[in-house]
Structure 1
Amino acid sequence: MGIPRGRRAIAVAVAALLATVAVVVIVHRVLAPAEVSTVARGAYPAAAQPAARVIGRLPVAPLIVDGRLRVYAAHRQVYADQPVDGRYRTSPFWSYRRWPAELNGVVASGSVVVSRWSDGQLVALDAATGRVRWKTDGPEPTESGAAVRRTGAATVWDPRGLHLTELPDGRTVVVVSGDVQARGVELSGGRELWRVDLPGSCRSDVGTTASGQLIGLDNCAGPAAVEFRDAATGAVRERWRPPGGSDELVVTPLGCRTSRSDCSALRTTGPGDAGGRGWLVGTGEPVAAPALDPAGAVVVGEQAVVVLDGVAVGRSARTGTELWRSADLGAARVLAAQPGRVHLLTEANDLVTLDPVTGVQLSRFSLNVGRDGTGWAPGAVAAAGGYVAVERLREPVDPDGDDNRYYLTAEAVILAAT
């Protein structure tokens, strides 16, 4: 005997319904927004004090955090490894992943790591454990149009629209901006301090000052102007144009503690400028600093350092008085700077580190690891906590080439302690 036709139809309908439910459940589990936090199982490592040398090579760009960890960016993940002076990348110490949002930028201060995502969400992680300290919504990031290469250097070394600054009362503020809005959030607990509407893509934020201000460039109405916004309240305190400056401006922050955050100076350039003009920034109107005018000049504390005709020269950034010069470096160039150190790269890819106050050489060694050699060109660079990390590019550099052509090796980043 067969199953009656009516019952058979019911059974087919039930089976189809169950199959549909199963598919819906599977699709939901796969595609639904989710986050996965894998916290640290071991103790927070001690800060390392390695000798001045090449430490090793890495496939991705490290953000040195608290002198103890290296934090990296992936497409939908921020993660850390340790020890900070390890020769190679190791298994994650902790990891935080979101779906379907994409990681847009990472900054860190002390033991707090702040990540920004394509949906605008800010997530602060505890560096010691990887646990989420706070989450808050922010403006969606501006579409930069720039290709994100495999090292992730742009995400951890130069995140646009994501900055830190310290207020006079000691609080640290995360300033995050998009095309149409900017917000200030306290680093310690994620409390929003302010939010302001912005006019759109005719205005952009370029960094923060060491005196607690957000630096913006406004091209919306009339000649370009530099805008200084109070990071505690969101109010614009100063709108400024370089005397005799062009109606078009490019503003580059200088003397930053990390990336474009907590900067002590800036350079303005316009059509017809040979290198630009340097300015010290504080609580009032920027002050001209001719020692920072030459292209390639950097400022470290109160000192400006530049290489002119093969000679490294240190000057007072405020007065221009020459403090020292070093003529034994050959055809060197200023590579990067950080508090207490200025780093130069010679024609032979030796890394030379000088004291910016005295010009005394602190270390010098070849940026070579294994059998890679020194036949490469420097790409993106980061300097913090006594370390220097450099992308190594294949010569001749092809900016339009794919990653295999663009980078020297699969482990393209060389890390050194200075």
Structure 2
Amino acid sequence: MVFPTGRRLFVVAAAVVVVLVAAAATVFRVLAPAEVSTLASGAYPTATAPPPGLVARLPVAPLVVDGRIRVYAAERQVYADEPVEFKHRSTPYWSYRRWPAKLAGVVASGHTVVTRWSDGQVVALDGRTGEIAWRAEGPVPEDDAAARRTGAESVWNPEGLFVASSADTSVVLSVGRDAMAGWNLADGQRLWQSDVRPGCQQAVGTTTAGGLVSVDSCGSAATVDFRDAATGAVTRWSPPGGGETLVVTPLGCRSGRSGCAGLRTAVGPGDDTARGWLFGAGEPVAAPVLDAPDTRLAGDVAVGVRDGALVAREARTGTEQWRHEDLGGARVLAVEPDRVHLITESNALITYDSVSGDQRSRFMLSLGTDSTSWAPGTVYAVGGYLAVECLRLPVDSAADDQRYFLTSRPVLLAAT
């Protein structure tokens, strides 16, 4: 074997160095932290009020923002399309991507879209343009189980990410394993941060009065903590009959688990001593009409199906407001402060006004040649829009996505 010497050796060494530098540069470009923002090129769409009915069939779950755009979550990307009533997913209106962080959750308030990432960063985007409004370092989220392909949990019910209104301030709240923090939604100014014992605080949601609700499970008895969204000041509450464990379910929320009007407490899943409560100026007020696990809170009205009838009662007094008889097996699918959405056994969607009980709309939840033989999965309702995942029967929660969902586009979006 002949080895290069002299000038030839120098040339070979130089070539090797060039190759290594080029390879290193390629690796850096591929693996280095990166951020790509593609801004909107068109005008911000106007809000519309489409007639009641199915408006879209989508492969992923939409978050309806400001009544004007739809926002979606991918593993490392958040993006929007428009208009809300377009029947398919369309070319992104704007897009924001990060690497190597993963998207952990998305919430919205007005035209602001707030994203939370696996490295703890909170990035607020202007929904009108896709531009970054502000960013902040926040608590690192707890590791979550693998998400389904629709991304519904990330946009409809994100863990540890909330918005709340306190006095004249709207606040973004992020909760991790060992810390909580709040920022002014308008400018990203940090309002407070609090360290907590790892694994002790389970965030539940936010209240209409501007508080962050969490369950502290590390004491001799589990308690419910209320933190002022603007200051972080804590008020602790021990529900009657509590023990070492406590299951808390938010009720009457405006979107996801933000802006909730009440809650239900139970010692454990399926507890027959569950109790319903309404938020007020002081401690929660007992509302026995909310005790039943299948009762929902729509504004000031508690609704539930009893003996085949949909019954609405004033939540604080229990006084019956209105009822609809002979629903033929229909059940409450979702509620909004002003609407109650029911689904029948044949998957027809019926929407009633929560105050008057008047029927707003009724139509089949199907689009084109979709089958009506399916089970509803995760549901989302806001601003008169309702979206639902369609699951294949019989439902198998352990199955892969291809078996679990009815079709490749399993999310139906309706205007009610």
TM over 0.5: yes
Tell me the distance in 2 between the aligned counterparts of 1:244 and 1:206: 19
1:185-240, CA deviations, whole angstroms, 9 ceiling, x for partnerless residues? 0100100000000111122111010101110100111111011111111110x211
The aligned residue for residue 354 of structure 1 is 352
1:343-401, CA deviations, whole angstroms, 9 ceiling, x for partnerless residues? 01111111110111121111111101111121000000000111000000000000000
Residue of 386, 395, 398 corresponding to 1:397 = 395
The aligned residue for residue 16 of structure 2 is 16
CA contact (8 A) 1:224 1:248 kept: yes
Q: Which aligned segments of 4 or more residues in structure 1 are displaced greater than 3 angstroms?
A: none
Aligned amino acid, residue 27 of structure 1:
V
Deviation at 1:270, TM superposition (A): 1.5
The aligned residue for residue 248 of structure 2 is 251
Structure 1 residues 4 and 75 mapped into 2: Cα distance closer, same or farther (>3 Å)?
A: closer
2:317 paired with 1:319: yes
The aligned residue for residue 99 of structure 1 is 99
**Structure 2 counterparts to residues 32-51 of structure 1, below 5 A:** 32-51=32-51
The aligned residue for residue 208 of structure 2 is 210
The aligned residue for residue 264 of structure 1 is 261
The aligned residue for residue 164 of structure 2 is 165
Tell me the distance in 2 between the aligned counterparts of 1:277 and 1:308: 18
Q: Please, which runs of 5 or more residues in structure 2 have no aligned partner?
A: none
Tell me the distance in 2 between the aligned counterparts of 1:20 and 1:5: 21
CA contact (8 A) 1:275 1:294 kept: no
The aligned residue for residue 138 of structure 1 is 138
Deviation at 1:275, TM superposition (A): 6.7
CA contact (8 A) 2:169 2:230 kept: no
1:111-134, CA deviations, whole angstroms, 9 ceiling, x for partnerless residues? 000000000001111111001111
- Identity, % of aligned pairs? 57
**Structure 2 counterparts to residues 403-414 of structure 1, below 5 A:** 403-414=401-412
**Structure 2 counterparts to residues 167-316 of structure 1, below 5 A:** 167-168=166-167, 170-236=168-234, 238-271=235-268, 273-274=271-272, 276-316=274-314
CA contact (8 A) 2:222 2:242 kept: no
Q: Please, which runs of 5 or more residues in structure 1 have no aligned partner?
A: none
Tell me the distance in 1 between the aligned counterparts of 2:200 and 2:134: 32
Partner SS state of residue 259, structure 2: strand
Aligned amino acid, residue 265 of structure 2:
T
Structure 1 residues 268 and 387 mapped into 2: Cα distance closer, same or farther (>3 Å)?
A: same
The aligned residue for residue 116 of structure 1 is 116
Deviation at 1:243, TM superposition (A): 1.4
Normalising by the residue count of structure 2, what TM-score does the alignment of the two structures yield? 0.97
Tell me the distance in 1 between the aligned counterparts of 2:349 and 2:274: 27
Deviation at 1:4, TM superposition (A): 8.1
1:315-343, CA deviations, whole angstroms, 9 ceiling, x for partnerless residues? 00000011111013211111111121110
- Provide the aligned length of Structure 1 versus Structure 2: 414
1:237-267, CA deviations, whole angstroms, 9 ceiling, x for partnerless residues? x211221234321001111111000101001
Q: Which moved more, 1:296-305 or 1:211-220?
A: 296-305
Structure 1 residues 346 and 398 mapped into 2: Cα distance closer, same or farther (>3 Å)?
A: same
Q: Which moved more, 1:262-271 or 1:272-281?
A: 272-281
Aligned amino acid, residue 113 of structure 2:
V
Aligned amino acid, residue 231 of structure 2:
T
Deviation at 1:91, TM superposition (A): 0.5
The aligned residue for residue 149 of structure 1 is 148
Tell me the distance in 1 between the aligned counterparts of 2:293 and 2:307: 13
The aligned residue for residue 82 of structure 1 is 82
Normalising by the residue count of structure 1, what TM-score does the alignment of the two structures yield? 0.97
